[in-house]
Structure 1
């Protein structure tokens, strides 16, 4: 256990950090700490105060419902308080919450708790708003503030198109209050940041910050231009009145359940998040949570957890509130994708393009289910921007990336022994001088014989989306390059059995299998070979576009710069990189070498005419029975189709496997035909396009 003096000191430190973060977040609208980090520090303070109640004071962040609003807008009192929700982070937290409300019910009524169902909704990462309607007209929009008093921002709220100015009801109630979340969609967020950077303005850190900053604009025209969105999730009828409860039966009344509330909100003209579900048990709630913990990455907006509510509103009312939270609702947050740790050292890696990437070596920490000990730092400018020193305490973030990145440094916690870092002047691999082009933020090694560059190029050539050479891993490539058996991709096709059997962990059988895989890679089509060349900025999709426009390597190598840039989807930067690559003598020699060795450097004439999927756009979602995502993508492309990441009106077919999420629902909403794997394979071998708009559940599950 900590000594009392250490506990008291830590409590004071935590309170200072949390109060500073709250002021910056609510009053200044300039967050200095990520939500996951705030939650982590808040829970630590809660635990310390629970173990040492003698240190609890009235000004502790744990003793307040919310923060005071800023004074830039008129302050208003909420007719009905906007309570915050208690947070759960594990299934054990959820079980404890259920036991608490059930125990409270027993003490309150003397009866056994009812078998109550739950309504689960996605927890939007936006800004809570309170809307007031009088006789069907919007008269006030306000921020949550401290839950009791907020800021009146009606002029800004009126610019949000998802918020109706008049309720869709012939005889509306005298007063109706709606609660919901204003947010910025991801596409609009990225577009907005591009616009800001083009104008020399700093980009927003995240969509939540962008939405909050937008709502606090004094000029409504600016708010309108940013195109905020809104989902409603609660309504209140302070003076009675009725709302539509069942659109089929055209019944009206007071909502008796959260499902009634969501139905009524839709009938009144509001958007509600369509991903809600009724869950009869906590086990069903857990299944909903587990599904969206992964599927949320397909959503066009950010969500940081789920909200679980007792469906029965009368039960919610009887359970009432604690000092800070409603007893009948809770927020189950996703496993944090951020954590706090220390930077032990900074090393520099050299990639296949010669780019020097600094990497932070970290004190190992558990993050999103894995132990993390390294984090990318991107480049020297990023280190300067973070003001990162070796020895600093930092926040690391992981959102689908293999190597997490550092998103924040705590300079106030910096030890005296911390050391600043400078990018090296020479390559750490070959010791050649490095350069930084005037128009780039990346420092590069320009020695084409640098072992790190050669290793990176060979690994890229053998990767799954390129030549897909099974068994050619990082350790083996390192040995082949170090022994100078392989200097270019062409050298792979000259390897003999005796070149491999003497390598570490390489027996004769393994060597033979590798040679067979290398030989088999000669049959890979021209788009894959083009991608495998590793031309800067050319990904697998761009390689496909280039291969369609230039059916063989000679046409592409001789193409003028203007012709390359004229391809739809190939911009000036990519076009220049392709043009320059084919005019480098070493690359010209490589192409001739690959030709001699029999690689496919032209489109196979047999698959060019009458491709059954030509001109069709596909989206793949879920897990297919036998094909990987990349294999299905390649199958579609080999037969003339194109593969997109998101479903839109331009999508022709959606290929669906198990655990399909929002992409399937959007396809069904738009009436886009859905295929299973078998139907896709049949389509690839048929000149007639077949599909069905029948719901997928009735066709393949």
Structure 2
């Protein structure tokens, strides 16, 4: 008779195989009562002796207290976006570019894999010695949020790979989603409880993955399809098709509606079939992903700065529907731009009910020849953003009146202005409540001062009650006043005051970006902050020598003029004084100045003009940190190895890039080599 340790191991193995058979293969091997009894036996064993509990136990799919928050983590291997194709012509053009990159004749037939593009949320799964070690969201492709506890609740994701002798590490990419039938049940349950309904399965899935309580995630019954595999170089399959088969064997659910196609014509037939067939699927899909099958050829094709050259997403044509225009409203943004918004009879598009769409500007209204009461055709651009495509004039009522943009601001009543060749019509009243609300939302956003706890609803209260009339007024709020507002308790109020105080220490470039000056986004703000260490030095250049700013790389005269115009405004100069009065520095710290100066000194240093590739896991540097070091020293980081690569920086589990670099004679650096090279 086995001892308790052996019995627990036997139960784990059997229950994991049963879960795989039920959730992935749809071929149950245990009846529910049998599974439940064996599961309870394992629970009792682990409760009696906690040492028997392991991370791959089915009892660990849901458990533990809710998390306090999520931690950002670096992806071992990045999750790049895909370029999009929208027509057969786009797909053909991609194929021609691919042949050119691979230096193949134009009539070469390349085997391609067609896979359905699941409309869900990308996940990065990391396995160590066959056991799920970490799960993370896609994030920006380089860093994501760790959500391992939540992902454990997804029954179609194996906690332990269903293969013998797994590699030391395995990286799997795939899509979490909520099936249509499950989504309908979830919304029905929410309606019974009087809760707001989810708009669509994709949004529900995204919100579920970021729940702090894994029990809530488990109740939503998410599913998962795996589609990308990364292994150590000596274990990597030769093709994408073989990689999908490996994933299937290892216990993952792989979408069965995939096809290995001999050439582009076969792929086009596959895409045509699923453009219609997708409507019969039990989950949402918004296109087909086409991938070069041969992984060595994938490596040869390489990447652009944002996407692989060897893959493309063919998006289905946006679904269109007719409806009747009821009215046209207007919204005022933080820069004063007035955006007309069409309001129409609700219509179902791409799984959601749509009743509003932006009309962009007065030119778009004129182009459409829009009249109130018109029958209009609307669609979701990219399956996300509603837009008005055209008008059906033959259905226009006889008494229909032309739509015109208002002459006065709908928020403050000021006369609206349209300058020169600008498409936008603007409110130029700096005291306009809409401009103030937009400016406040921008100031506290993540890219700017990153103030947690100050959302749109609270900002509306603060402005509407006259408690905040400028950015500086935020820092004059106290906890007692905040606690008196709707949906604000003492704890929330105290936390917000602390968050505002902490935001004063944000770097100078974030403060500059937060001011919301037209045309100055995050990248431009960083570039300006690296050259001008305070608002004073930047203002002096903008007002006295604007050409000095315009000549900076990536800036130009339009941005320089916008900056000068903003600084000429007396109200903005008063704002800068007020911000300093409440403790904002509006200048770079000594450490920031030193870092910027060092970066400038290194620009002509060891890596000036050099091209580098990063691969594997470095012992001390994250990929983003290594990239920042290289770029600060004048180097450029790209995604694939070629004859033009100067250096390959290789870490643990370097993979096929290391093999290719060695075959091409590219110099290979370790992390130690790189840091030594960059020492002054």
TM-score tier by shorter-chain length is 0.3 to 0.5
TM-score of the two chains, using structure 2 as the length reference = 0.47
TM-score of the two chains, using structure 1 as the length reference = 0.46
